[in-house]
Amino acid sequence: MSALILGHKNPDSDSIISAIACAHLYKLRGLDVVPAAQGTPAPETAFILERFGLEAPEVVTSVAGRDIYLVDFSDKAQAPCDIDQANLKGIVDHHKLGDVTSTAPVECIIWTAGCTNTILKRMYDYCGFEIPANLAGAMLCAILSDTVIFKSPTTTDMDRKAAEELAALAGVADIQALGMELFKAKSAVAGCTPRSLIFRDFKDFNMNGSKVGVGQLELVSLDLVADIKADLEAELAAVKAEEGRHTAMLLLTDIMKEGSELLMVSDEPARIAEGFGKTFEGKNLWLDGVMSRKKQVVPALEAAFRK
């Protein structure tokens, strides 16, 4: 049975495109692998797959007894519930090292970059393999998405270089224009339920023994959700009550204003606000300049929960 290359729960574009790109690379290396995902593509990812003629990976919910490679995560909270019954073979990621373990040595590449696909581009270069034009285009989109068209503080020179080289391979002349097309697709909210928007890009984290869920919705304007904000807050309360969460949060990120409005339901809202240097006054928090969950939100929460 083929090994699975799998991204995190509630997959974003980097997670799904990483699985596809990594599977192609590993097949070139002679490994028997298939890409997989823990959910169907969100609107932005669907746009990328259609634009570049790629198929969505198979959706899996169980990995017991399977060989698996992880891309774009290494936290158990973001994995299938039976991951401890799988055989972990490798990791490619750009986040902090999580809490997965293995029974044998693994091929593990965790690098400081704005996107997993940036790392995969370097891996292709190292191995001397050519990236097909359509795959290069999809990888470029994943980088633009994860770095918020290079506005995110997670962006590195390596991301910019990879994007330029992938654009050349894909025949993309205007990277910025493609990025705006991407975020218009990502901003699609019409007809979506509050729950689907919360879970479009939602991750759970273990914060010193407390389960904290953090969703992020990146939009070209927060006006797009102004009329449904109360519904989002009500659904967030329901999400918080599920699975023993201490806190459920949703970052509404305005990519043009370069900041985020934080919606939250928490056992300790003052503690959460303090983590961002704010005082909780019973209303949503505006976090100026906050664009990255990975670099700006999760570290602040971890520090707050250590106190």
pLDDT digits (tens, 9 = 90+) for 155-207: 999 999 999 999 999 999 999 999 999 999 989 898 999 999 999 999 999 99
The pLDDT, as a whole number, for residue 307 is 79
Domain-embedded: residue 98: yes
Q: For residue 265, is it left (φ>0), alpha (ψ between -120 and 50) or beta? A: beta
- Tell me whether residue 170 is exposed, middle or buried, using C-beta atoms within 10 angstroms of its C-beta: 0 to 12, 13 to 18, 19 or more: buried
Whether residue 142 is found in the same domain as residue 206: no
Cα–Cα nearest to 220, from 159, 264, 179: 179
Residue with tokens 């590449």: 109
The residue among 191 and 27 whose pLDDT is bigger is 27
Across the range 110-130, mean pLDDT stands at 98
Residue with tokens 């909270």: 77
Count of domains in the chain?
A: 2
Whether residue 177 is found in the same domain as residue 34: yes
Whether residue 103 is found in the same domain as residue 9: yes
**Coil, strand or helix at 29:** coil
Q: H-type helices in the chain, by residue range? A: 13-28, 43-51, 116-127, 133-146, 157-170, 175-186, 194-198, 229-241, 269-275, 298-306
Q: Which residues contact 163 (CB under 8 A, 6 or more apart)?
A: 118, 140, 143, 144, 150, 175
Residue with tokens 């729950």: 195
Whether residue 110 is found in the same domain as residue 199: no
Whether residue 131 is found in the same domain as residue 245: no
Whether residue 56 is found in the same domain as residue 169: yes
The domain boundary residue, chosen from 184, 212, 246? 184
Whether residue 159 is found in the same domain as residue 198: no
The domain boundary residue, chosen from 147, 163, 184? 184
Whether residue 51 is found in the same domain as residue 176: yes
Domain-embedded: residue 264: yes
Domain-embedded: residue 189: no
Residue 244 domain boundaries: 194-306
Give the span between the Cα atoms of 81 and 47, in whole angstroms. Answer: 29
Grade residue 283 by pLDDT with cuts at 50, 70 and 90.
confident
Grade residue 282 by pLDDT with cuts at 50, 70 and 90.
confident
In this prediction the pTM is 0.87
CATH code for the domain of 180: 3.90.1640.10
Whether the pLDDT of residue 73 is over 90: the answer is: yes
The pLDDT, as a whole number, for residue 44 is 95
